[in-house]
């Protein structure tokens, strides 16, 4: 097997490098309380799609900070003349960094299976959700470091990804509250950033039953830096140091602040069963960063290991995830 990171036996024991802030759990407990106190003002607007078995809606809700957050929502069309429709399972889906929730049609396989599907647009990225951190609309890049100075100075609630993590959990809770959904049968999935958001969603909304994060982003930032892989999706780490701390005098403060949005520290909260596909030559989200989170998950869990694959399509993983989420 090619090697760009630790050998597998070491990965299985790896516990991460990025520090966990002392008040991490209190911070997230208060953040969840803030989220639950919001009047979400959920709005569903019908969306036309030629899918005779599905009803499609533009879903909007108010998230933390007052942002209007967007998701695609699809559900099975009720069967005519059927008196009682039993609540059905649901799936929340998350996209890759700077992207969006994608086309409607690629969710229909789960709707045909009898699932509702909600696919989030992350704030200020390539979709329709607002980023109200100074602007409304698309902010596209620099999201890991957005709010980092605030966090270093004692206000980690200003971190961009803190708000996105909460959006994910809030969306899952909204879907669970829909009368057509069985709240005990809800799953989450996504790849790269979507994998990191899947972990965050399952951690912050512990009712999520099954989670399938694919090579998750947003884990163990210090390890990424030490591997000299602060490029591509993590490039803004290098940019931040070069522009705002060129002699690394604040390095320990920076890593500590980023610890608030490090999924490895949220992972112990997960109660869902987890299936995590991992490419072992991934230089975008190195395997060790993924294992830093995976190894801290206390619930039932398993990996799909691809020895010769990186941050790319993993053959067969889609079918494996489809079967896994079929247990809802």
Q: Which of 129, 192, 288, 317 is catalytic?
A: 192
Task: Name 273's Cβ contacts closer than 8 Å, sequence gap at least 6.
Answer: 209, 210, 211, 299, 300, 301, 327
Q: End-to-end distance of the chain based on CA atoms, in angstroms?
A: 34
Sheet of 54-62, strands arranged across = 43-46, 54-62, 68-76, 116-120, 88-94, 181-191, 210-214, 273-279, 301-306
Query: Is 95 annotated as catalytic?
Result: no
Q: Which of 95, 143, 265, 311 is catalytic?
A: 311
- Rounded to whole angstroms, the Cα distance separating 80 from 214 reads 38
Query: Is 282 annotated as catalytic?
Result: yes
Task: Name 130's Cβ contacts closer than 8 Å, sequence gap at least 6.
Answer: 67, 68, 69, 123, 124, 136, 137
Q: Which of 262, 282, 288, 317 is catalytic?
A: 282
Q: Which of 255, 249, 246 is nearest to 220 (CA)?
A: 255
- Residue 153: DSSP 8-state: T
- Rounded to whole angstroms, the Cα distance separating 157 from 171 reads 19
Largest pairwise CA distance in the chain: 71
Q: Please give the torsion angle defined by the CA atoms of residues 178, 78, 71 and 221, in that order, rounded to the nearest 10 degrees.
A: 70
Q: Which of 237, 233, 235, 299 is nearest to 266 (CA)?
A: 299
Query: Is 30 annotated as catalytic?
Result: no
Task: Name 82's Cβ contacts closer than 8 Å, sequence gap at least 6.
Answer: none
Whether 220 contacts 17, CB under 8 Å: yes
DSSP SS3 for 278: strand
- Rounded to whole angstroms, the Cα distance separating 111 from 47 reads 15
DSSP SS3 for 181: strand
Which positions are annotated as active-site residues? 192, 282, 311
């Amino acid at each position: 097997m090619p090697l760009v990171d630790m050998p597998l036996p070491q990965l299985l024991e790896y516990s991460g490098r990025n520090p966990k802030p002392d008040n991490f759990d209190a911070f997230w407990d208060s953040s969840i309380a803030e989220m639950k106190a919001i009047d979400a003002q959920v709005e569903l607007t019908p969306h036309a799609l030629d899918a005779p078995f599905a009803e499609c809606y533009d879903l909007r809700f108010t998230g933390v900070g007052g942002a209007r957050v967007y998701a695609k929502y699809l559900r099975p069309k009720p069967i005519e003349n059927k008196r009682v429709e039993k609540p059905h399972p649901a799936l929340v889906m998350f996209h890759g960094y700077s992207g969006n929730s994608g086309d409607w049609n690629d969710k229909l396989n789960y709707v045909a299976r009898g699932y509702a599907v909600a696919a989030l647009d992350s704030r200020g990225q390539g979709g329709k959700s607002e980023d109200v951190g100074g602007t409304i609309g698309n902010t596209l890049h620099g999201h890991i470091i957005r709010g980092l100075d605030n966090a270093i100075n004692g206000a980690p609630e200003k971190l961009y990804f803190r708000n996105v993590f909460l959006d994910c959990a809030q969306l899952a809770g909204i879907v669970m509250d829909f009368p057509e959904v069985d709240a005990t049968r809800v799953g989450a999935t996504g790849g790269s950033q979507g994998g990191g958001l899947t972990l965050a969603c399952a951690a912050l909304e512990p009712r999520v039953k099954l989670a399938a994060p694919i090579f998750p982003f947003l884990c163990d930032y210090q390890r990424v830096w030490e591997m000299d892989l602060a490029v591509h999706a993590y490039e803004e780490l290098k940019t931040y140091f070069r522009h705002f701390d060129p002699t690394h005098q604040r390095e320990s403060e920076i890593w500590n602040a980023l610890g608030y949005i490090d999924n490895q520290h949220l992972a112990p909260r997960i109660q869902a069963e987890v299936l995590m596909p991992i490419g072992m030559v991934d230089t975008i989200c190195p395997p060790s960063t993924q294992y830093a989170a995976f190894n801290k998950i206390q619930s039932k869990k398993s990996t799909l290991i691809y020895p010769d694959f990186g941050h790319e399509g993993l053959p067969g993983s889609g079918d494996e995830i489809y079967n896994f989420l079929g247990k809802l």
